[in-house]
Chains A and B, each alone.
Chain A
Amino acid sequence: MQAWLFREWPWYVAGPLIGLFVPALLLVGNKVFGISGNLSHLCAAFAPGKLEFFRYDWRKAGLWNLVFLAGVLIGGFLAFHGGPPQTVAISTESRAALARLGIHDFSGVAPHEIFTWHALLTLRGFVLVVVGGFLVGFGTAYAAGCTSGHAISGLANFELPSLIAVFGFFAGGLIATYLILPFVLGGL
């Protein structure tokens, strides 16, 4: 395997490649690139309950996207197992800021102090994984889109709703970074 395939790609390679998924899906089947709809499709498939929101033909609307999502998991697996273990080379300022929050293990793609099964039973593990996951699911359903559907597909199509959503993503991200994380990780 080529070594570059399993190293970090520069932003000017990664970004344009990510953007290409928008025209690719449009050209293949007139599909709009957006991942979070899959969470609704999974609810519609497995636990629609009596809720109007989940009463639609999920196969017709979202089977293609669920298959795409299965591919995303496989792609992650191939990227991880195809090459040597990788450390994410964040800036020294970021390392210092995170060290002040108590994070010292910078190996791997996400901090081992938080994102392990063992840490799930701690306050930080519960808030970041369980509460965080809930907010991702609730927020993307409420906003009708996530980073792919709004920040990429929506902005590329010059849609005002998507611009509002992206401002929201940013506001929420800043609140979590500066107000919630210091509180939750402070005593790590």
Chain B
Amino acid sequence: MTTTSTSAFDGCGAGSSEQQATRPAFLAVYLLLGIAFGFVLSRSEVISWFRIQEMFRFQSFRMYGIIGSAVVNAAVSVALIKRFGIKSVARERISIPAKPLGSGIRYAAGGTIFGLGWVLTGACPGPLFALIGNGVTVMIVAVVSALVGTWTYGWLRPRLPH
């Protein structure tokens, strides 16, 4: 009985993930997941400049514990999904496209540049937005600045080593 289903998403057809991702029901799910993520980021205090300083000064296990246990939980989940060939809600085969290594320079250089910004602002991109929600509204400026930074990369991209 694989052709009949009682899925709530029946009628959406077997479109690609790009097509189904723009459907209102899916967008609502992404919004709810985002709200949950913003809440967890806030309660975990990984959005705090103080916590980032504590981490880079090796004065608390907390941030390492958070990032480490997040990676372990995600890795086990991904391994289970792969091992059992679990499909997405739209019955799509789940795949994580591998990032091309190239020379690796982009990851080392880009990563280092981001690391500088992470410590200065005390925030990665997600926390920048969570901080605005937390009343640190000056982070709107940091977001605009980050957009200028991303745009500048797009402009310099042909001239940068990758």
Chain B 46-72, CB within 8 Å of chain A: the 1/0 string?
Answer: 111111111111011111011111111
| Total A-B pairs, Cβ < 8 A | 528
Complex: how many Å from CA A16 to CA B135?
Answer: 26
Across the interface, A64 reaches (CB within 8 A) one of B30, B81, B138, namely B30
Q: Among the interface residues A54, A61, A72, A164, which one has the most CB atoms of the partner chain B within 10 A?
A: A72
A97 interfacial by beta-carbon distance below 8 Å: yes
Whether A80 contacts B147 by the Cβ 8 Å rule is no
A75 and B114 contact, CB distance less than 8 A: no
A173/B49 in contact, CB under 8 A = no
Which of B19, B32, B52, B90 contacts A71, CB < 8 Å?
A: B32
User: CB distance A77 to B134 under 8 Å?
Assistant: yes
Interface size grouping (class) on chain B = 35 or more
Other than the given A72-B41, A75-B37, A111-B50, 18 more pairs (CB < 8 A) read A7-B43, A18-B73, A20-B77, A27-B86, A29-B21, A30-B94, A31-B21, A43-B154, A52-B154, A69-B34, A115-B138, A116-B138, A133-B143, A133-B146, A136-B123, A137-B145, A139-B114, A146-B124
Given known contacts A18-B44, A141-B154, A173-B56, is B145 in contact with A71 (CB within 8 Å)? no
If over half of A's interface residues share one DSSP class (helix, strand or loop), that class is named, otherwise mixed; here it is: helix
Contact A43–B53 (Cβ < 8 Å):
no
Judge whether A59 is part of the interface by a CB distance below 8 angstroms: yes
The docked-state distance in angstroms from the alpha carbon of A130 to that of B121 is 8
**Residues in chain A near residue B61, CB distance under 8 A:** 11
Known contacts A38-B125, A88-B51: A19-B110 contact under CB 8 Å? no
